A and B are shown apart, each in its own frame.
Chain A
Amino acid sequence: MIYAENILICIAVPLIISLLFIHGEARRFVSAFLLGMMMCLISAYIDGFLELATGMGADDTSVFLAPVMEELLKLMPLLLFIFLFPLEQSFVMPAAAIGAGFATFENCCYILTSGAGNLTYILIRGLAVGVMHIVSILALSIWFMIARRLRIFSLPAVAVGLSIAMIFHALYNLLVSEPGWSTEVGFAMPLVVSVLLYHLYRGLMKKS
């Protein structure tokens, strides 16, 4: 049993204080990071509730339901940024911050539950889950940027992007849920996709 709310307060308070002294992009980044951590806590609550309500068990909940809830909750602050800021604004920075905040808080809770003795495993976790949360929301934000430029930012556009993020996340959770070859493939997947996404983003930036 860990007290996730207390952990959130402990990490968030210095960041909130720092908001008073920073401006512009930096303030936006820290705000999005904080929102990402909050979303992680809320998704943990909802996953816990769904686990009890459906009687699925912790493993099945993390494989089947958590990806859907987590991606949906990461989308909320991103949509907030999209509607708050003008068309020319890039959504990549807030998206990266939301993903990083979400992954950081999840990793903190994981380390407190399972310990941080094994450096190799901690590194793999950081590179896999950490990158996965960032990659899924970054891909979503890049799609939203394209959709807004093409003036097709609509419910189908959001739903399609969200579902791709969800299935990518679900595939990762499914692969790492069983020991053996699938875990190795699962751990490698976010890194491979992040490289592809980086090239896509660079290509888009060059063209714009």
Chain B
Amino acid sequence: MPEYSVSIIWILVNLVILAGLIRLIKQDVRAVPVIFFGFGSLCILFSSLYWIVYALLRPDVRMPFAANEIAEWAIFLSFGASLKAASEPGGRASRREILSVILFIVANVALWIAWSGEWLQDIATGIVFGYYVAALAVRMNRTEAVSLPVRRLWGLVCILLVAGQAATFFTQPPLKDGLDLFCYALLLLTELYLVIKAVGSLSQKKTEVGTDSMSLSFAVHAWGTVFLYMSADAFYTIAGFFVSLGYLLMYLSFRREEGT
């Protein structure tokens, strides 16, 4: 049931977003980032619908491979393309930041493979998710949406998270449960920080430093996705809720950018 609820929330949220985007486009807002974001939203809608139909028609049968995984890759690609199109040309993150992003994604892919055993899907997901996160890192670096000390702290959180999750493979309860809880706390606190920052940026002037609502709202979604892929049971539902909040914040940031 929790998996159903996440998909149902995503469908509802993305229906609202698509209706809003259609209105934006009708008002002659034909910006490329909006169009890419709309396609990402459409992919989420179809993917969630597929997941629900599958769960209804074939309950308790594990999905070996399906088109909704390709839709997930398309979501990351379209969001990455949307971010790239929204950023002015020429911007780039430092080599150290890009390397950190790559290492974090590779570590995540290794963990996904260890959990699911699905090599091909996990590597492909890692590549497109990496593209998305790299585009996000470039934008965040340029707009200084998050200050340097916070970014360093964030890097430390990522290291602790990967180390904590890797350690769960070699430990036994209750230490394993403790490590899991520690990782969930890290994921949740970082997500809450990003949500507060993104919501705050939406009500501030665009020109102020650290108020790039677009990169902050995309960061809510990207970190929510990391959270989602690392979670199970109730935490999966919580992460799913944050991801849907990310979708809404992303849409609101587009409205703010377009000045509607």
- A150 and B54 contact, CB distance less than 8 A: no
| Contact of A201 with B by CB under 8 A | no
- Bound together, the chains give a CA A186 to CA B135 distance in angstroms of 38
Closest Cβ neighbor of A186 among chain B residues: B53
| Contact of A56 with B by CB under 8 A | yes
Dominant secondary structure at the B interface: helix
| Contact of A160 with B by CB under 8 A | yes
| Contact of B47 with A by CB under 8 A | yes
- Bound together, the chains give a CA A150 to CA B36 distance in angstroms of 11
Given contacts A157-B81, A174-B54, A177-B57, contact A167 B32 (CB under 8 A): no
Q: How large is the interface on B (under 10, 10 to 19, 20 to 34, 35 or more residues)?
A: 20 to 34
Given contacts A174-B54, A175-B53, contact A150 B78 (CB under 8 A): no
| Contact of A171 with B by CB under 8 A | yes
Dominant secondary structure at the A interface: helix
Q: Which of A63, A163, A164, A182 has the most CB of B within 10 A?
A: A163
Please give the number of chain A residues whose Cβ is less than 8 angstroms from any Cβ of chain B in the complex.
33
Taking CB atoms, residues of chain A closer than 8 Å to B43 are 160, 163-164, 167
- A160 and B57 contact, CB distance less than 8 A: no
- B32 and A152 contact, CB distance less than 8 A: yes
Tell me how many residue pairs across A and B have CB atoms closer than 8 Å: 91
| Contact of A67 with B by CB under 8 A | yes
| Contact of A40 with B by CB under 8 A | no
- A163 and B50 contact, CB distance less than 8 A: no
- B57 and A164 contact, CB distance less than 8 A: no
| Contact of B87 with A by CB under 8 A | no
Chain B residues proximal to chain A, CB less than 8 Å = 30, 32, 35-36, 39-40, 42-43, 46-47, 49-50, 53-54, 56-58, 63-68, 70-71, 73-74, 77-78, 80-81, 85
Chain A residues proximal to chain B, CB less than 8 Å = 54, 56, 60, 63-65, 67-68, 143, 146, 150, 152, 154-157, 159-164, 166-171, 174-175, 177-178, 182
Can you spell out 11 A-B residue pairs with CB atoms less than 8 angstroms apart?
A: A67-B67, A68-B67, A68-B70, A152-B35, A154-B81, A156-B80, A160-B74, A164-B39, A166-B71, A174-B54, A182-B53
